[in-house]
Structure 1
Amino acid sequence: MNTLEPDPVATAAEPHNGNGMRARLNWLRAGVLGANDGIISVAGLVIGVAAATTDRTAILTAGVAGVVAGAVSMALGEYVSVSSQRDTERALIARERRELAEDPEGELIELAGIYQAKGLSPATARAVAEELTAIDPVKAHLDAELGLDAEDLTNPWHAALASAIAFVVGAALPLLAVSLASESTRILVTFAAVLVALVATGSVSAHLGRAGRRRAMLRLVLGGALAMAATFGIGYLLGVSGI
């Protein structure tokens, strides 16, 4: 249920804040998404089963199976998504190297134009472009044009691992709530615990995305509540019908 897939081209164009920053942000993004998915998907699963039966073993079996399947799915999805992003970044770097080899003067003019567009005078922009090109032309163009650092590319293994671990951590909350609460209160306790957790992860998501916290939290809470209500209704109907 990964709802915030990274756009390879858009991500490649974002400025970075030093070596390792992109990797850390990638871990955080994957972790928050994994936790949200773990909370919502496993909560919906165990509440649906709990609505159909009071058998604790059946509920836990379904929950554990959902945790394992979800963690694998999230890890695989992140790996494929971030691998595509990394391939795009490598292709952009290769293209920049090729263009520098084929037309160094044209690339120098282009780099000077970038700095001139940022407000420098033509003479200063040209001087800056020449100085940066003399140090490392590829790095200069990647930074100015694409916000990329060839030594700080995203790592699909890191994203996959962060997502899988976060999914398990997030999924543990509804699983513990439904298993520790009494038979008469397990659904309400799980529902309440999940909503509180979604408020917290929604706040973190908004902070990472520099978005409004209230809207982000409201989206997650409403989405999670609808998911749990739907699975409860389906489980209840199946339990009543005896299917």
Structure 2
Amino acid sequence: MSISSIKSLLASYSPVSDRDSSDMEKDFARPLREGSDVELADGLSAARLRKQDADKKSFRIVDGRTVSDAIIGLSDGLTVPFALTAGLSALGDTRVVVFGGMAELIAGAISMGLGGYLGAKSEEESYRATLKDTKEQILIDPASVVDTIADIFTPYDLPEELVSQLTMHMASSPELPSFLMNFHHTLEEPAASRALVCALTIAMGYFIGGFIPLLPYFFVGPHGAFVALQWSIAVMAFALFLFGYTKTCFVSGWRGAQNIRRGVIGGFQMVLVGGVAAGSAMALVKAFQVLAHSGPGGPDDHNREHP
């Protein structure tokens, strides 16, 4: 088996940025050996360039993490504010629904955005800490690093001679920290703007998703909350179904009867979740109203005292 046959194995290789690995260049830079090592280095370089080009093209089309953040924000925004506005509608006052809904939307969007920001920052700090530990292990215990490299190639059923060549080459390569981060720790370096983009995406997704059930209340009178609730339920049922269908098909695919069936099932599942959330909220508000009217000092108690 030639060295070029392992190019597909290393196709997912993405190096650590220059700012992280520059301080390791002087510690690990050694001249490449002749023959197979040179061929291997050419293969790795070509695979890395192809991977970088593919990453740039795919990033221009869609970023998987951004899509995931948008789904998180929209999913919460389409259920939690909808349940709140549906529950407040039991009070019969449109202004209470609008003010309470807007307050929840703003507070929820800020909270979700901050949560996404802190989560992305923690991910970035975890990556840097792991990279630091990896570099220290390379300097302090190179023998264990050689065993780790060999273990990475073992599952791929490569010839022992080829594994030995790969191990020896990577052990002396300046790209060793990047190799271990990608193939041993399986961690991808977060982008510098990851935390900010994550926060804005989740917050905007939450606000947009939560504003949908609030729209009908802007077009009715002060006491038309129940009418607006009916329109809100219809709009949200459609929005939840569309969101569930789109989310499912984005993962499984858009074409084919099986993918369409999965999308329909995912849409009805989202409608069911939103319906249960809204029904629970309305039931709780109704229960609180009953307790308020029947408790001490309530209207019922006042009527009993003054027949």
Indicate the TM-score class for this superposition, using the shorter chain for normalisation: 0.7 to 0.9
Aligned counterparts of 1:145 and 1:153: Cα–Cα separation in 2: 23
Work out whether 1:203 is the aligned partner of 2:245. Answer: yes
Bigger Rg, which one:
2
Q: 1:139 maps to which residue?
A: 178
Question: Where do residues 114-125 of structure 1 align in structure 2 (5 Å cutoff)?
Answer: 114-125=152-163
Using the TM superposition, name which of 202-211 and 35-44 deviates more: 202-211
Q: Is the 8 A contact 1:173 1:193 kept in 2?
A: yes
**1:178 offset after TM fit, Å?**
3.5
Q: 1:179 maps to which residue?
A: 218
Query: Aligned residues, how many?
Result: 229
Q: Does the C-alpha gap of structure 1 residues 154 and 97 become closer, same or farther in structure 2, counting only changes over 3 Å? A: farther
Q: Is the 8 A contact 1:15 1:148 kept in 2?
A: no
RMSD of equivalent CA atoms? 3.2
Q: 2:234 maps to which residue?
A: 192
Q: Is the 8 A contact 1:15 1:147 kept in 2?
A: no
Q: Deviations over 1:219-241 (max 9, x none)?
A: 43222111111122233455576
Q: 2:273 maps to which residue?
A: 223
Aligned counterparts of 2:218 and 2:13: Cα–Cα separation in 1: 46
Greater relative CO (CA pairs within 8 A, separation 6+) = 1
Aligned-partner residue type, residue 75 of structure 2? N
Using the TM superposition, name which of 212-221 and 130-139 deviates more: 212-221
Question: Where do residues 11-160 of structure 1 align in structure 2 (5 Å cutoff)?
Answer: 24-53=63-92, 55-133=93-171, 134-150=173-189, 152=191, 155-160=194-199
Q: Deviations over 1:67-117 (max 9, x none)?
A: 111101111222222322222222221221111111224312321221121
Q: Is the 8 A contact 1:50 1:235 kept in 2?
A: no
Q: Secondary structure at 2:232's aligned position in 1?
A: helix
Q: Deviations over 1:7-44 (max 9, x none)?
A: xxxxxxx9987657799322221211111111211111
Instruction: Using the aligned pairs only, state the percent identity.
Output: 18
Q: Is the 8 A contact 1:39 1:167 kept in 2?
A: yes
Q: Is the 8 A contact 2:124 2:190 kept in 1?
A: no
Q: 1:5 maps to which residue?
A: none
Q: Is the 8 A contact 1:93 1:150 kept in 2?
A: no
Using the TM superposition, name which of 128-137 and 73-82 deviates more: 128-137
Q: Deviations over 1:160-190 (max 9, x none)?
A: 1111111111112111133336835322221
Q: Is the 8 A contact 1:112 1:122 kept in 2?
A: no
Aligned counterparts of 1:95 and 1:207: Cα–Cα separation in 2: 40
Gaps of 5+ in 1: 1-13
Aligned counterparts of 2:286 and 2:201: Cα–Cα separation in 1: 35
Runs of 4+ in 1 over 6 A off after TM superposition: 14-17, 20-23
Using the TM superposition, name which of 35-44 and 194-203 deviates more: 194-203
Aligned-partner residue type, residue 197 of structure 1? A
Aligned counterparts of 1:128 and 1:112: Cα–Cα separation in 2: 8
Aligned counterparts of 2:157 and 2:283: Cα–Cα separation in 1: 60
Aligned-partner residue type, residue 235 of structure 1? V
Using the TM superposition, name which of 67-76 and 109-118 deviates more: 109-118
Aligned counterparts of 1:159 and 1:77: Cα–Cα separation in 2: 9
Q: Is the 8 A contact 1:139 1:149 kept in 2?
A: no
Q: Does the C-alpha gap of structure 1 residues 89 and 40 become closer, same or farther in structure 2, counting only changes over 3 Å? A: same
Q: 2:208 maps to which residue?
A: 169
Q: TM-score, normalised by structure 1?
A: 0.78
Aligned-partner residue type, residue 183 of structure 2? A
Aligned-partner residue type, residue 69 of structure 1? A
Q: 2:35 maps to which residue?
A: none
Aligned counterparts of 1:222 and 1:216: Cα–Cα separation in 2: 10
Gaps of 5+ in 2: 1-11, 15-50, 254-261, 299-307
Aligned counterparts of 2:276 and 2:188: Cα–Cα separation in 1: 42
